[in-house]
Amino acid sequence: QKEVEQNSGPLSVPEGAIASLNCTYSDRGSQSFFWYRQYSGKSPELIMFIYSNGDKEDGRFTAQLNKASQYVSLLIRDSQPSDSATYLCAVENSGNTPLVFGKGTRLSVIA
């Protein structure tokens, strides 16, 4: 059973701080890693994806991947109240296998 684990939260951070969201996965053969944001009552929207070890930056977001430790994280710099949402980590073994999602971490950014 392939598993993706996330701390359910809530993770509370003050406005302007860095929010750090973490995810671990069980399938060592995983190749592709995605972060989605889901506002309450809405569908998930893609924030970032990462395929190689290291960091990938996109605006205020940085995804970090460590395949040896089977660990992927998302950093949100200068957090805003509008970042308050549930963040879902998703992992894929190959293009022919389904994405497996974690249950998400609820982030609350306090103004």
Partner 1 sequence: KAGVTQTPRYLIKTRGQQVTLSCSPISGHRSVSWYQQTPGQGLQFLFEYFSETQRNKGNFPGRFSGRQFSNSRSEMNVSTLELGDSALYLCASRGRVEDSPLHFGNGTRLTVT
Give the interface with partner 1 as residue ranges (CB under 8 A). 31-32, 34, 36, 42-46, 49, 51, 88, 90, 92, 94-104
CB of 49 to partner 1, least distance (A): 5
d(CA 43, CA 55): 26
Grouping H, G, I as helix, E, B as strand and the rest as coil, residue 7 is coil
The 8-class DSSP code of residue 66 comes to: E
CB of 57 to partner 1, least distance (A): 17
CB of 56 to partner 1, least distance (A): 13
Q: Compare residues 79 and 102 and give the one whose CB is closer to partner 1.
A: 102
Q: Compare residues 82 and 96 and give the one whose CB is closer to partner 1.
A: 96
E strand spans, the chain: 4-5, 11-14, 19-25, 32-38, 45-50, 54-58, 61-66, 71-76, 85-92, 100-101, 105-110
Q: Compare residues 2 and 60 and give the one whose CB is closer to partner 1.
A: 2
Q: Compare residues 69 and 96 and give the one whose CB is closer to partner 1.
A: 96
CB of 27 to partner 1, least distance (A): 14
Contact yes or no for 91/25 (Cβ under 8 A): yes
